[in-house]
A = this chain, B = another copy of it.
Amino acid sequence: MPIPARSTRVSVKITDVAAAAGVAPMTVSRVINTPDRVSPETAIRVKAAIAKLGYVPNLIAGGLSSRRSRMVAAIVPTIAHPMFAGLVQAFTDALRQAGYEVMLSLSGYGDDEAQVRALLGRRPDGLLITGASHSKVTAQMLTEAQIPVVEIWDVAAQPIDMLVGFDHGEVGAAVATFFHAKGHDRFAVFSAGDSRALARRRGFTEAVRRFGGELIADPVLPAPSTIMEGRAALRDLAPKLDRRTALLCSSDLLAFGAITEARVLGIAVPERLAVCGFGNFELSAANDPAFTTVNVEGAETGRTAAAFLLRRLAGAPPAKQDRVHVPFRIVERDST
């Protein structure tokens, strides 16, 4: 006795195409996935059937069978930040060209354990995660998932697998050195409260101390950073700006806010206040005055991370060179 269909036929499947073309389902599969193993005549017949029926292969079923989902998961704190928006865009573009779709997960600046679990349930072929310090559970899940993992935007003593990042403390120190070389001896830093911004702040303040410089303020502001926070922080700082001061901001948005408020208050930039941002957003180059900032190549990071994953997905073994420090550089403009 035939078993009744579980539900009404809802979409065309490979057997329908096979029947229409007079071939076996496997042959249809080959036409789609390995066309050079099919005779041209057969391929033409099958393609005609595919077009006629409007067949869209079910990649979920294919993935279950082949154990390759052709999806890659990405966890970033936010895309409201131009840095990560550019990174995600480049990462997504590179992977789609190779036939992979991206599942995007936005973590805020908090814990990512639940998200990692939800994503791994979809059996992605690879995963990108922002940051390099994870909870024990998260790290274990990632390791046991047996898929290539790229950590970005930070460096780790013990990377899970691959890494495309940089040392945020070094960035802070580099900016301090840059200011010091220009003769500054009085400093301030506005920083968001997330771990990486705080690492830059620490690198900056420690270098200032080494140079024997004076640190007049180092407020920690809520993440994510806003222009308004930068303006407010500068208003607070203004009474102390009687002498020439060099200011590092943990984001170009803060820097823009500080520069804007300085103009409103009549504080000359860069004469009385030198400002350096972070991120090299369009704003930093397009503002008047264009301002100095740290460039970190978000898009390049995304492309590199995608390339690393693709190489491993193509079968390459893990290698030492899968851990790179992306270069950062100070882009000097008119605010310093």
Which A residues have a C-beta under 8 Å from some C-beta of B? 7, 10-11, 54, 56-61, 63-64, 67, 69, 71, 78-80, 82, 85-86, 88-89, 92-93, 96, 101-106, 115, 117-123, 140-141, 144-146, 226-228, 231, 253, 257, 260-261, 263-264, 282-283, 285-288
A263 to B287, CA, bound (A): 11
Q: If A63-B60, A67-B7, A79-B85 touch, does A106 touch B93 (CB 8 Å cutoff)?
A: yes
Partner among B89, B117, B287 whose Cβ is within 8 Å of the Cβ of A78: B89
Secondary structure type dominating chain A contacts: helix
Which are the 9 A-B pairs with shortest beta-carbon distances? A227-B286, A59-B121, A104-B104, A79-B79, A79-B85, A80-B85, A228-B286, A260-B288, A56-B120
Q: If A140-B54, A286-B227 touch, does A89 touch B106 (CB 8 Å cutoff)?
A: yes
Contact B282 A263 (CB under 8 A): no
A117 to B119, CA, bound (A): 22
Choose among A64, A82, A122, A285 the residue with the greatest number of B CB atoms under 10 Å from its CB: A122
Q: If A71-B122, A85-B85, A118-B96 touch, does A64 touch B60 (CB 8 Å cutoff)?
A: yes
A123 to B228, CA, bound (A): 43
A275 to B145, CA, bound (A): 54
A96 to B80, CA, bound (A): 18
Q: If A11-B146, A60-B122, A123-B58 touch, does A80 touch B80 (CB 8 Å cutoff)?
A: no
Residues of B within 8 A of A7 (CB): 67
Partner among B63, B86, B102 whose Cβ is within 8 Å of the Cβ of A103: B102
Residues of B within 8 A of A286 (CB): 226-228, 231, 257, 260
A78 to B92, CA, bound (A): 11
Min CB distance A286 to B, Å, is 4
Residues of B within 8 A of A89 (CB): 78-80, 106
A24 to B1, CA, bound (A): 27
